[in-house]
A and B are shown apart, each in its own frame.
Chain A
Amino acid sequence: MLQIKSWIGVVGLAALAGTVLASPGHAETLNALFMAQAAYSDNDVRNMTHDFEKANPGTTVNLEFVPYEALFDKIVASKAAGGSGYDVVLYDVIWPAAFARDGVLRDVTDRVKANIDTAKVFDGAWSTSLFDGKYYGLPWILDTKYLFYNTDMLAKAGIATPPKTWDELLADAKIIKDKKIVDYPIVWSWSQAEAVVCDYATITAAHGGTYYNDGKPAFDQGGSLDAVKYMVQSLKDGVSNPNSKEYLEEDVRKVFSAGNAAFALNWTYAYAKANDPAESKIVGKVGVVPAPGVAGHTEASAVNGSMGLGITAGSSHPDLGWKYISFLTSQEVQNKYAQLSLPIWKSSYDDPAVTKGQEPLVAAAKTAISVMSLRPVTPSYQEVSTILQAQIQNALTDKATPDAALAEADKAAARLR
């Protein structure tokens, strides 16, 4: 017995000595949650964090990466479990309304106002943080869906300029299909997931659509209805890859990068990846333009797919958390890692360090960012999105007409509690 006791004593002393030795001044540890797909790669985030730790001796940041599909669940589960799980979390532009209602993220309005010249950052980026006049974090990933095209295939088909309207896209795709250059010219992420809502929202915005009429769901009207009709038509015409119905963005990227599609709608990161010889067969043949518009409505269209970094309400290190997210979102860091995700800072888009090697993408971004539109803004966004995903898929798989499916979506959305 005595032996065991002294053993414990030794271990305890050793542990104590260990912590004392390892902590010059005050050691602080942050737990941060990121996603493992699109935008900045795991490696980029690790390198940025490493620089942050070097600049702040004694600080350790534990990183956790989860798929986008699990990000929301992780954030709310950690909050529900007591709240001190994560200090810093990456969150999507569609969540602040719900997070504000449930007190998930810390209100950092004072810090933002004291430290940041908000006019230097795009408004579209701020919409990830702003809800009801309060800031719940800092924008980090300024992203939207662009229309990528295979320059080789367009040249072979005799198409001189990429499509400027959605109708032109269908027409061009038809030419490419008829000339048997590729079986299915357009590929989309239309899986029953958030991905399909992003594509639908882009096309809805192009048709000048809105989601609510006097506060009532109006998905079965105007641009929203036109968008779903367009999606269904493109499948019927055989120009959209039928497998789009089970694809997420990564699948779209792989199909496009493998040279199996002439057009793809995807996020910023797809540009650098399609030009990466290790992952792509179409290096140097990648064109990018803003998602098209609709004659009489819009010149171009874009969905706001930005993401922000927030400090959780339960974090016991809000100051260090703020330091960390300020560092990650700083113009200097963002310019350095601009290959997979473009900065939130306006002046970066004219900085050669950022634009070099990706001039077409930056040019497309300048237009797209100025027309970015939001998906339905409501604290019940998760429910609304789930309804839309199901009903859009009903239309895409021919289980219902676009009118009937969207009328059903209205009914379901009106029934929400």
Chain B
Amino acid sequence: MQRPGSISPWRLLAPMLAIMAAVVGYPVVQTIALAFTDARLLGGLGSAHWVGLDNFIYALTDANFLSATAHTLYFAILSVGFETLFGVLVALLLNEKFRGRTVCRALLVLPWALPTIVNAIMWRLIYQPDFGVLNAVLTQTGVLSGYRGWLGDPDSAMNAVVLADVWKNYPLVALIVLAALQNAPADLYEAARLDGAGAFRRFQVVTWPVIAPPLLVAIVLRSIEALKVFDIVYVMTRGGPASATKTMSFFVYEESFRFLRVGSGASYALIVVLICMVLVTVYMRLLRHGQPA
């Protein structure tokens, strides 16, 4: 591609690569190195010893970490699933012409624009067992017979957190899909309609090929975020009740900053990254196969 006389693309990329190496590359290399040591947060690197795979063995034989992995996968699948579903539905709706569409499109961005911490505190207030609005609404409409603690019950706590996360993040999916819909060729819809295709069939053959690739990108982004989830859970439940909402990232945080074992914390972090990478690989495959011709 390079034309004679043009500047090598590597030279143009050099400043960015240097910054990336400093702010991403160096910490990554250090994290990998730390994961095989017994380094302590306050001991300094000088006191660290090589321990081989000990940290990984400790993590993977820890029943609590394994159940946290299950909780994280549950959270990721459920929240990304619903975000995708609502995102696509809302995008299709906002793609229709109706009065007030612009206002609705603007409103769509609001939940996503909230900082996660604010969103988490807001939902904690909504779920508050004594004066929370959710209890009030459900009790006054007769759905519930009395107030209950949503975040204090291990059976409902994770679902309550998922709902809070879906509310905040489905707009991202909706926005990406909505943008893709702008590219949907109007004449194809016309042709499909003339051929007698119903609404569902039109979605299948015209809309889906247009929105699928960007949607998959959105799903990849959301999945990685969901597997790393920490902040919303930390604010809403701190991992309780009975560890029902404790996710993998809690172990990274606890090991590193509570128990001061950064070596061990790094190994937990790498395990989380590996799981993310497996997922991304699967998605990439899907993306390549699902690519419309």
Q: Chain A residues in contact with chain B, CB under 8 A?
A: 69, 72-73, 76-77, 79-80, 98, 102-104, 191-193, 242-247, 254-255, 258, 260, 380, 382-383, 386, 389-390, 393-394, 396-397, 399, 412, 417
The A/B interface has a contact count, at CB < 8 Å, of: 88
Q: Does B241 have its Cβ within 8 Å of any Cβ on chain A?
A: yes
Contact check, A242 vs B258: say whether CB atoms are below 8 A apart.
Answer: no
Using CB atoms, name the residue of chain A closest to B257.
A73
Contact with A along B149-166 (1 / 0, CB 8 A): 101111000000000000
Which residues on A sit within 8 Å (CB–CB) of B257?
73, 76-77
Q: What's the Cα separation between A382 and B237 when bound, in Å?
A: 18
Contact check, B258 vs A192: say whether CB atoms are below 8 A apart.
Answer: no
Interface of B (DSSP majority class):
loop
- List, sorted by A's number, 28 A–B pairs whose CB atoms are closer than 8 Å: A73-B258, A76-B41, A80-B41, A102-B41, A102-B42, A104-B42, A192-B238, A192-B239, A192-B240, A192-B243, A242-B149, A242-B152, A245-B149, A245-B152, A246-B149, A246-B237, A246-B240, A254-B130, A380-B259, A382-B259, A390-B243, A393-B240, A393-B241, A394-B242, A397-B153, A397-B244, A412-B64, A417-B58
Segment 120-173 of B: residues with Cβ below 8 Å from A: 129-130, 149, 151-154
CB proximity of B53 to chain A, nearest CB, Å? 14
Contact check, A243 vs B242: say whether CB atoms are below 8 A apart.
Answer: no
Using CB atoms, name the residue of chain B closest to A80.
B41
Contact check, A396 vs B242: say whether CB atoms are below 8 A apart.
Answer: yes
Q: Does B254 have its Cβ within 8 Å of any Cβ on chain A?
A: yes
Which residues on B sit within 8 Å (CB–CB) of A255?
130
Q: Does B260 have its Cβ within 8 Å of any Cβ on chain A?
A: yes
The 4 A-B residue pairs whose C-beta atoms are closest, nearest first, are: A192-B240, A246-B152, A102-B42, A393-B242
Segment 211-238 of B: residues with Cβ below 8 Å from A: 237-238
Which residues on A sit within 8 Å (CB–CB) of B241?
191-192, 245-246, 393, 396-397
Q: What's the Cα separation between A25 and B42 when bound, in Å?
A: 36
A76, A103, A193, A380 pick with most chain B CB within 10 angstroms: A76
Using CB atoms, name the residue of chain A closest to B244.
A397
Q: Chain B residues in contact with chain A, CB under 8 A?
A: 40-43, 58, 64, 129-130, 149, 151-154, 237-244, 246, 254, 257-261, 264
CB proximity of B185 to chain A, nearest CB, Å? 52
CB proximity of B231 to chain A, nearest CB, Å? 13
Contact check, A397 vs B242: say whether CB atoms are below 8 A apart.
Answer: yes
Contact check, B42 vs A390: say whether CB atoms are below 8 A apart.
Answer: no
Contact check, A193 vs B258: say whether CB atoms are below 8 A apart.
Answer: no
Contact check, B152 vs A243: say whether CB atoms are below 8 A apart.
Answer: yes
Q: What's the Cα separation between A80 and B154 when bound, in Å?
A: 35
Interface of A (DSSP majority class):
helix
15 new A-B pairs (CB below 8 Å) besides A192-B239, A255-B130, A390-B243?
A: A80-B42, A243-B129, A245-B153, A245-B240, A245-B241, A380-B259, A389-B240, A393-B242, A396-B241, A397-B154, A397-B241, A399-B242, A412-B64, A417-B58, A417-B264
CB proximity of B264 to chain A, nearest CB, Å? 8
Q: What's the Cα separation between A320 and B149 when bound, in Å?
A: 48
Using CB atoms, name the residue of chain A closest to B41.
A80
CB proximity of B38 to chain A, nearest CB, Å? 8
Q: What's the Cα separation between A396 and B154 when bound, in Å?
A: 10
Using CB atoms, name the residue of chain A closest to B264.
A417
Which residues on A sit within 8 Å (CB–CB) of B264?
417
Which residues on B sit within 8 Å (CB–CB) of A386?
254, 258
Among A102, A242, A246, A390, the residue within 8 A (CB) of B43 is A102
CB proximity of B49 to chain A, nearest CB, Å? 12
Q: What's the Cα separation between A193 and B237 when bound, in Å?
A: 10
CB proximity of A197 to chain B, nearest CB, Å? 13
CB proximity of A227 to chain B, nearest CB, Å? 17
Which residues on A sit within 8 Å (CB–CB) of B259?
380, 382-383
Using CB atoms, name the residue of chain A closest to B250.
A386
Using CB atoms, name the residue of chain A closest to B262.
A80
Which residues on A sit within 8 Å (CB–CB) of B258?
72-73, 382-383, 386
CB proximity of A91 to chain B, nearest CB, Å? 14
Contact check, A103 vs B42: say whether CB atoms are below 8 A apart.
Answer: yes
Contact check, A246 vs B129: say whether CB atoms are below 8 A apart.
Answer: yes
Which residues on B sit within 8 Å (CB–CB) of A242?
149, 152
Which residues on A sit within 8 Å (CB–CB) of B240?
191-193, 245-246, 389, 393
Which residues on A sit within 8 Å (CB–CB) of B254?
386
Q: What's the Cα separation between A260 and B129 when bound, in Å?
A: 13
Q: What's the Cα separation between A243 and B130 when bound, in Å?
A: 9
Contact check, B64 vs A390: say whether CB atoms are below 8 A apart.
Answer: yes
Q: What's the Cα separation between A81 and B151 when bound, in Å?
A: 35
A244, A390, A397 pick with most chain B CB within 10 angstroms: A397
Contact check, A260 vs B40: say whether CB atoms are below 8 A apart.
Answer: no
Using CB atoms, name the residue of chain B closest to A191.
B240
Contact check, A192 vs B130: say whether CB atoms are below 8 A apart.
Answer: no
Which residues on B sit within 8 Å (CB–CB) of A103?
42
Which residues on A sit within 8 Å (CB–CB) of B41?
76, 80, 102
Using CB atoms, name the residue of chain A closest to B261.
A417
Given contacts A76-B41, A243-B152, A246-B152, contact A191 B64 (CB under 8 A): no
Q: What's the Cα separation between A403 and B215 when bound, in Å?
A: 50
Given contacts A192-B240, A255-B130, contact A76 B149 (CB under 8 A): no
Using CB atoms, name the residue of chain B closest to A390.
B243
